[in-house]
Copies of this chain bind each other. A is one copy, B any other.
């Protein structure tokens, strides 16, 4: 009998989510472990193996898994390594695919989390049937996945799609990557908070709820904007403007049918989407105006990454 499942794993800086997925893309069951509590990478991989094996045993599926797909920060599709991920506690090159494959005895394929989300969206979500689209994930950082001619663009070395590190403002904000002005420093959850602090400093006499808060989060700013706070609304206006400018850059590059937005900030609704769409259309070249859709992800946040990663599990089938 054909093996009828794949396992998808989504590794985040805080949590690792895994799921058992059937041929129709249903997440049959899923679970999670903490990512950052294991000082050594080997211990983390052991814990992940045990957790997944427990899940498989409870579903009688230990011999039914065709392959495992993993989405992880800075994961290289070609080498199978996680390479120098700033958001993980383990440094250097981590041979994750080989380590998991040795333990499970089945093929393991990895890619970065944004690529995994793009594959999920292409297979089961808003990009079904599209051959050219771009995925942008707005989380703690900003990630990207580029699909051209129906194929994921991994690039020469497996490291393509670093859309969060395109330059939104030349000589702008310092980024974790060591460079300045990256999109990620403006349009991630942390970028939104930086904008709020900049506005607070630049407009010292303006009354705003934000001034009374300590340790602002993007959620605080969203709540303040919904409550009608002028400065908080301006923060989203600015974020949408910068994001729209940069999505127009993406269009000049690969002319996608749609750009799909995913992640925490995508839940801000019209507060973000209205200025984003206005800025996007204003900044598109005439030949592209009105042609490219901006869509919100159709997948549940947890599912998209696990589903996308799981789709990689079938690749060994070719």
Contacts and interface: CB of A to CB of B under 8 A. Distances in A.
A238 to B, nearest CB: 13
Contacts of A169: 170
A18 to B, nearest CB: 26
A175 to B, nearest CB: 9
B254 A287 contact: no
Contact of A286 (B84, B158, B253): B84
Q: How many identical subunits does the complex contain?
A: 2
Interface-central residue, A156, A245, A255, by most chain B CB under 10 Å:
A156
Given A132-B155, A132-B156, A148-B148, A163 B252 contact: yes
B249 A166 contact: yes
Contacts of A159: 255, 287-288
A165 interface: yes
A153 interface: yes
A58 interface: no
B255 A167 contact: no
A83 interface: yes
A157 interface: yes
A255 B155 contact: yes
Nearest to A130: B156
Interface-central residue, A157, A256, A291, by most chain B CB under 10 Å:
A157
B254 A153 contact: yes
A55 interface: no
Interface string A126-144: 0000111100000000000
A39 to B, nearest CB: 25
A302 interface: no
A54 interface: no
Task: List 5 A-B pairs, minimum CB-CB distance, nearest first.
Answer: A155-B255, A160-B255, A156-B257, A162-B252, A132-B156
28 contacts: A83-B287, A84-B287, A130-B156, A132-B155, A132-B160, A133-B156, A146-B253, A148-B151, A148-B160, A149-B151, A149-B153, A149-B154, A153-B254, A154-B255, A155-B254, A155-B256, A156-B257, A157-B255, A158-B255, A159-B255, A159-B288, A160-B253, A161-B254, A162-B253, A166-B249, A166-B252, A170-B245, A177-B285
